[in-house]
Amino acid sequence: MKTMFYPKLALDGMGKNSKLYLPYILTCSGMVLMHYIVAFISEADTIASLRGGDTIQAFLSLGVFVIEAFSLLFLIYTNSFLIRRRKKEFGLYNMLGMGKKNLALILLWENVITAAIALIAGISFGILFSKLAELGLIYTVGGDVNYMFTVSPDSIIMTVRNYLVIFAVLFLNDLRQIGSATAINLIKSENVGEKPPKGNVLYGVLGVVFLAAAYCIAVTVENPVAAITLFLVAVLLVIGGTYLLMISGSVTLCRMLQKNKSFYYNPKHFVSVSSMAYRMKRNGAGLASICILATMVLVMVSSTTSLYAGLEDAIAEQYPRQINTAFKIDGSDLDSSDKIDEIRSEIIDYSGENGTATENCSEYKYAYTAGMIEKDVAETDQSKSLTYNELTMKGLYEFFFIPLEDYNAVMGTRAELSDGEALVYCYRGSYPYDTITFNGGRTLKLEKINALYFTGLSATSIIPSMYFIVPDVNRAIEGLPQIANIAGDSSVTYYWDFCFDTDLPDDRQHEFASGLINRLSDLVENDTWQLQYVESREYQKEYNIAMNGGLLYLGIVLSIVFLFATVLIIYYKQLSEGYEDRSRFEIMQKVGITKKEIRQSINSQLLTVFFLPLGLAAVHMCFAFPIIKRMLMLFSLRNDFVFLMATGISLGVFSLFYVAVYKITSNAYYNIVSGAKED
């Protein structure tokens, strides 16, 4: 009987505090469920067999780590709500003769029971829904459906092991809080008001400075590579600035409202404002946490959704025709029309043998090198004085030189240029000057153009590019072949591309491209001409669908996890503040305040602070839009309207969700402070 004393005491305490423990256990179970599902899919053979499956599973493996790290931090945060509510109970046990060892045993059993329920329920439902989640991912990426149901013992073992470690950390954190307090302090813990944090003006100034720095980074960055590098810096500044501003801002707001006599000494506002004044630190931290989680959800959903929705545009930019071929050629053979005619004829003959024609053909020659730009000077010799930023790659460019004749043929234009003149198009970058000088010698006078067909050449590169349309390529690059370029080649490299459409069905295009590779390899494999690639747009589209679909799926999974956290923070915020405010409202009811006025006071608190996190999250998204847009360019998404629509819809849906959660949790707050229901 004695051995069951502590388990029964733990169960009794959890049962009496079911309003606190039930949401907590449900959230823990949800975290375990999502962890098992993501771990299961990251190892599933059906996903590995998909085109791009390795990439998808790499993303999901990262998602497993994110869920584990977030679970640890978030559960420590939310567990503090439970302990704060239970301290009075533990203090009473302590005064009745229980030592800290006895309290530790109660805490141990509570954690064991919570862990057991969360692991059993989470893994059971994870197994139940794992196949549905797998089918959802396969459908998203356009794979072949397999209805065989499987269970992953390795995923179960990993989930149990990792979450047992998390629950052990939670138990040690509980011991720290209970063990360091006296019985009197435990009993009085709920009645101890919090003073506004000292130096709140300094906090506010720092918060504004951090946010201003983050916003400045977000709106001024132009290089997509720099955007990725600086995005983490901006995120850290936003998190720090949000917490500092929310904590100090809520203090300042309450002081301003208290100084406004007509507002403060009103039954609708008096209790809510005075209550908030004594819990500023936790109130501000809670609001900041909600704001950060809301921003994370909005960023992930809007970016991954726009990537998936803008896939067609990205593929069209990377692969302008259904079949795209490229040949690397010796510079001295750049103008060899005989070899070009031979290859073109071979491609046309092969197409005819496969029952199709070469349609919408486009062909062009170009020279390629890379180098550094400083002001209006370009240097392709890496031993020279010009440098680039290794962190952001600012100043590093790829250079493409395309004959004017080929440009006019492909673009359907009649542009004319003289020697020393060039049309220029910047891809993922900008160039403000009217001339450019290469290696301190040859200078080109530039005229900017706004559109170019050839950008597929660098659509998959992370380095910005400059395309020069010149009358004579050999003349334009005089001196460059003798200088080692930044890519490590001993000279400028030359290419000839031939792209075309067919009337073959989508499922035959990759087979057609594979056969064409074999046909052309024997024809051009020599010292002068080399086959660089033959790519099928449909094949690459399927791969990109897998990659973008995997990102979208991971974004949805992590958003669900963060929504768990958001709901629980809001719920605990309402409950903990309800229990703290109940005595104040009881006093106010005794002096004449009605339940209608209590409801009005609650609504006043809503309008005062509760929508601040949502509003600030919307501001964060507005300023984050430019830097996220730059990063999406690396995935060849240049359609701003798609990203804008995805962001707007995500914000609208999340706002509705946020309002619904508040309405539900505010009712719980009202029931506590008004005495409508007993806890």
Mean pLDDT of 10-17: 80
Residues 6+ away with beta carbon under 8 Å from 487: 369, 370
Side-chain half-sphere of 408: how many Cα atoms within 13 Å?
Answer: 10
pLDDT digits (tens, 9 = 90+) for 419-461: 889 999 988 778 889 999 887 567 899 999 988 887 777 777 7
pLDDT digits (tens, 9 = 90+) for 122-167: 999 989 888 888 888 777 776 666 777 888 889 999 999 999 999 9
pLDDT digits (tens, 9 = 90+) for 328-362: 887 666 666 778 888 889 999 999 988 888 888 88
Structure token pair of residue 336: 């060899």
Does position 590 have pLDDT exceeding 80, yes or no?
no
Residue 259 burial by Cβ neighbours in a 10 Å radius (0-12, 13-18, 19+): exposed
Report the alpha-carbon distance of residue 212 to residue 97 in Å, rounded: 55
Domain boundaries defined on the chain: 1-192, 197-320+570-679, 321-537
pLDDT digits (tens, 9 = 90+) for 309-321: 888 877 877 888 8
The DSSP annotation for 123-169 comes to: HHHHHHHHHHHHHHHHHHHT----------HHHHHHHHHHHHHHHHH
C-alpha closest to that of 282 among 124, 81, 53, 478: 81
Residue 384, pLDDT score: 61
Does position 481 have pLDDT exceeding 60, yes or no?
no
Percent of the chain's residues with pLDDT above 90: 11
What is the reported pTM? 0.74
Report the alpha-carbon distance of residue 640 to residue 647 in Å, rounded: 11
